[in-house]
Amino acid sequence: GDSVTQMEGPVTLSEEAFLTINCTYTATGYPSLFWYVQYPGEGLQLLLKATKADDKGSNKGFEATYRKETTSFHLEKGSVQVSDSAVYFCALINQAGTALIFGKGTTLSVSS
């Protein structure tokens, strides 16, 4: 079945460091891909998405490119801030269109 694998955390960075969180997926066809972010004590919110191969989603300085050749959707940011500390989830829509399938989440901690 459909699945998402993302790198284990926690990821600890200093402010202004470069961030990469790896995400790969297994799915039938070419599902829409998402990154969601969860700040402490809150629900998830959409960070960015891509709906077809080679699409680049971007928001708040974060970017991810839909790579069908490597079935990947890695999240990147050139210069992280303390306020980026959160849990990041990679996700896809299953083939039936009935569910978001999430990775296990990666905790990012940024220190000043």
Partner 1 sequence: NAGVTQTPKFQVLKTGQSMTLQCAQDMNHEYMSWYRQDPGMGLRLIHYSVGAGITDQGEVPNGYNVSRSTTEDFPLRLLSAAPSQTSVYFCASSYSSRNTEAFFGQGTRLTVV
Cβ proximity of 77 and 61 under 8 Å: yes
Give min distance, CB of 41 to partner 1, in A.
Answer: 8
Q: Are strands 44-50 and 33-38 parallel, antiparallel or unpaired?
A: antiparallel
Positions in 39-58 near partner 1 (CB under 8 A): 41-46, 49, 51
Q: Are strands 106-111 and 11-14 parallel, antiparallel or unpaired?
A: parallel
Per-residue mark of binding to partner 1, 58-87 (x: CB under 8 A): ------------------------------
Six-digit token string for 86: 């959160």
Interface residues with partner 1 (CB under 8 A)? Answer: 4, 32, 36, 41-46, 49, 51, 89, 93, 97-100, 102-105
